[in-house]
Amino acid sequence: MNRLKGALSVLLSVLIALSSMTIVVSLYLQATVLSEAFYLDIIATPTYVTKVKDAILMDFRMQSSYSGIPEEVFAETVEESDLHTMLRNHIHSVVLYLNGQAEYTEPSYPIEKIIAPLRSFLDEHAGENGYVATPEQYALLDAVAADTAEIISRHVCLIDLRLVMNIGMFQQALSMLRMVANAYVAGLVVFLLSIGLLAALYRRNLLMWLRGIMLGLWFAGAAFLVPATVLAATGLTDRVAIVTPYLKYFVDTVLTQSNQFFLMFGIVLFIVATVTLVYLGYTKREKQLDKEKFIHTAIKIT
Amino acid sequence: MRRRENTNSDKSPETTTRTPEDSSPVLKSTRSHRHSSDYPAFQFLASEKSREQRTSPDLLRDGRRRHRNTTFLKRMRRVGLASIPFAIFLLGLSLLSVGFFTYVENESVLAIFITGRDAVRVSTSDEPNVTQTSATTVRESATIPTETEGKLVVPFYYQGDQIGTIRIASAEIEVGVYQGDTEDQFRLGAGHYFDSFLPGQEGNIVIASHRTSYFRDLEYVEVGDVIEFETTYGIFTYVIREISILENKDFDTITDPVDQEQLTLYTCYPFVYVGNAPNRYVVRCDLTEAKLNT
């Protein structure tokens, strides 16, 4: 009977560990991967949009080399405020798609903002060199403007879902992601149910009941804390091989903050459970000693 | 736990005996008895002293203190023993984590996404040893048509490495040549088409740059002009044989293999043009001299 009770206790502790892990992972997904606020916080960093613009200007240098149009002309076509608005809209669209609430729409920079300065340059260039720009040249210019708009849109597109959204494996992973993100209710139910069953198992022993809960939480805490600590120690999250500065900042921040999330929960669960278990160990021993002392006294009296 | 306590209480009467001389109930304890060895208070109760002494409050307090002191170490030991499985679990988890992240960093397909490690440069069939072998083969069969000094050892250049410098005195061009023909190389100077040959290898050496930057003055070169290509393993001198303008669709003819060593420089054409230039300006040269490093 005691063995069965012990086995049940272990099983319930495992369930507590698994359900608490599910709750933490679910909270993580809700608070980071599927949260618009999380991404907006990253791009709200003062230098972030400037970094995006610098990367765009770097590509404009290439565009200038191919088209013969000075970099300054291209630089006039892009404003940081426009980039910020585009980034916000893009993140909004991505998060809606990830949550299954809307179709994904690609970011696109208004080509009109590019065509005007390019045509102005062509007219000026034609005037200086004594020729009149032909419709063919204007058409070529429009093609350059379309390429330029594509460059801007590409840099604004932080998470390019076009590349993966038609891949079956991605869709499977996405549906699993959504499922886990919504699993916190199920996790909570299993968690409370396990606690209730443990209470029923140890009706007259509060300490054993607490011990069963804390054992589960200790394992869950360790399962988060140890890998997160090792990952932080290796510094892998800061060494992702991305050359583009703003993209590297974005990916580094997402990875680092994700790791910190698990580290924080791991530390809390681990410390609380460890302290409680040690305390319970002493308390249990004290209680046992008290019982034995009572017996001794009884013997003494007789 | 309860079972053990019951056992103890059951055993107690068996280990206590009454002596015929003393009618009072005296506890006679043996050293092997669990209670006696564990708890000094019990030893005190089991002593031969008088009943008054045994019930003295001071002695009882003293017994309790001694009892606590001796059991403290035992309790610590018990906690220590109980924590061993937990420590083993933590150790195992740590080792698994270290192993997993080391694998990710060094062995897995994800390794190429992590910097700060030697394997960032992905191995290809163009590994240095392979090239070195082919260079040796070329050297043995090389028939450079003009003066050749020294021994030809062509090193392996990774993407982005500087191969050397091209000088065209007639057009006042002096530009660094880098391995690869992407925008990264064009920002620095001229780019060497990765799949083409290197100087001394008796093949088509294809080099490009932008018409708006380093090859801006390429339009001023003429047939017969001398081009000096100083590499990290020797200096190669070429003479311009042919200048042509090709359409974009004929790009393949620029990189076509040839029977003898040929330096091909090209850029976009027209040189002054607003928009993506439709043609290519191609300069082809023959090798006349090679001075190899000793």
* Chain A: closest CA distance from residue B215 (Å): 11
- DSSP summary character for residue B155: P
* Chain A: closest CA distance from residue B181 (Å): 13
Domain count for chain B, please give it.
3
Task: State residue B128's pLDDT score.
Answer: 30
Closest to B199 (Cα-Cα) out of B142, B268, B125: B142
Closest to A269 (Cα-Cα) out of A233, A236, A205, A220: A220
Task: State residue B67's pLDDT score.
Answer: 67
CB B63 within 8 A of CB A266: no
pLDDT one digit per residue (tens) for chain B, 294 residues? 344 444 444 444 444 444 444 444 444 444 444 544 455 555 544 554 555 555 566 766 777 776 666 666 676 677 777 788 889 999 999 999 999 988 888 877 777 777 654 433 333 333 333 233 233 223 333 344 455 556 678 888 999 999 999 999 999 999 999 999 888 898 899 999 988 999 998 899 999 999 888 998 999 999 999 999 999 899 999 999 999 999 887 888 898 888 889 999 999 988 888 877 888 999 999 999 998 887
User: A230 and B97 in contact by Cβ < 8 A?
Assistant: yes
Q: Are strands B279-292 and B262-269 parallel, antiparallel or unpaired?
A: antiparallel
Does residue B45 sit at the A interface (CB-CB below 8 Å)?
yes
Residues of chain A with pLDDT under 70: 1, 284-294, 298, 300-302
CB B200 within 8 A of CB B147: no
B114, B272, B274 ranked by CB distance to A236: nearest: B114
User: A239 and B213 in contact by Cβ < 8 A?
Assistant: no
CB A51 within 8 A of CB A81: no
Same domain assignment for residues B152 and B282: yes
Q: Are strands B204-208 and B147-149 parallel, antiparallel or unpaired?
A: unpaired
Same domain assignment for residues B27 and B102: no
Three-state SS at A75 = helix
Same domain assignment for residues B106 and B134: no
Same domain assignment for residues B109 and B47: no
Same domain assignment for residues B271 and B239: yes
Q: Is the ipTM of this complex over 0.90?
A: no
Domain residues for the domain of B250 are 128-292
Phi, psi of B264 (to 5 degrees): -120, 120
Task: State residue A94's pLDDT score.
Answer: 92
Task: State residue B71's pLDDT score.
Answer: 67
* Chain A: closest CA distance from residue B176 (Å): 17
CB B216 within 8 A of CB B246: no
Does residue B277 sit at the A interface (CB-CB below 8 Å)?
yes
| Residue B9: Cβ-neighbour burial (10 angstroms; 0-12, 13-18, 19+) | middle
Does residue A239 sit at the B interface (CB-CB below 8 Å)?
yes
* Chain B: closest CA distance from residue A226 (Å): 6
d(CA B29, CA B46): 6
Does residue B73 sit at the A interface (CB-CB below 8 Å)?
no
Q: Strands (DSSP E) along chain B, which ranges? A: 147-149, 162-168, 173-179, 190-192, 204-208, 226-231, 234-247, 262-269, 279-292
Same domain assignment for residues B109 and B178: no
d(CA A20, CA A58): 47
Phi, psi of B235 (to 5 degrees): -115, 130
Neighbours of A201 (CB within 10 A): 17
Same domain assignment for residues B147 and B224: yes
Task: State residue B123's pLDDT score.
Answer: 32
Tell me which residues of chain B, numbers 161 to 220, contact chain A at a CB-CB cutoff of 8 Å: 183, 186-187, 210-213
d(CA B256, CA B220): 25
| Residue A226: Cβ-neighbour burial (10 angstroms; 0-12, 13-18, 19+) | buried
- State the count of interchain CB pairs (< 8 A) between A and B: 117
Same domain assignment for residues B235 and B266: yes
Task: State residue A35's pLDDT score.
Answer: 92
Does residue B272 sit at the A interface (CB-CB below 8 Å)?
yes
Tokens encoding B281: 């300006």
Task: State residue A67's pLDDT score.
Answer: 84
Task: State residue B69's pLDDT score.
Answer: 66
CB A8 within 8 A of CB A201: yes
Task: State residue A112's pLDDT score.
Answer: 87
Note the helical H segments in chain A: 2-28, 36-43, 48-67, 71-75, 80-98, 112-129, 135-156, 168-181, 184-201, 206-234, 245-301
Does residue B78 sit at the A interface (CB-CB below 8 Å)?
yes
User: A230 and B113 in contact by Cβ < 8 A?
Assistant: no
A65, A67, A299 ranked by CB distance to B213: nearest: A65
Best mutation target among B274, B279, B280, B281 (most A Cβ atoms within 10 Å) is B274
Average pLDDT, chain A: 88
Does residue A234 sit at the B interface (CB-CB below 8 Å)?
yes
Same domain assignment for residues B13 and B136: no
A69, A226, A296 ranked by CB distance to B94: nearest: A226
Task: State residue B8's pLDDT score.
Answer: 43
B12, B54, B276 ranked by CB distance to A66: nearest: B276
A293 contacts on B by Cβ (under 8 Å): 39, 41
A122 contacts on B by Cβ (under 8 Å): 274
Closest to A136 (Cα-Cα) out of A122, A148, A150, A149: A122
Whether the link from the prior residue into A107 is cis, omega within 30° of 0, is no
Same domain assignment for residues B25 and B89: no
Nearest CA in chain B to A124: B274
Nearest CA in chain B to A294: B9
Same domain assignment for residues B169 and B24: no
d(CA A129, CA A137): 15
Closest to A69 (Cα-Cα) out of B211, B160, B118: B211
Nearest CA in chain A to B10: A295
Same domain assignment for residues B171 and B278: yes
CATH of the domain at B188: 2.40.260.10
Count the alpha carbons within 13 Å of A302 in the hemisphere toward its beta carbon.
12
Q: How far is CA A165 from the centre of its chain?
A: 18
- Single-letter residue type at B239: V
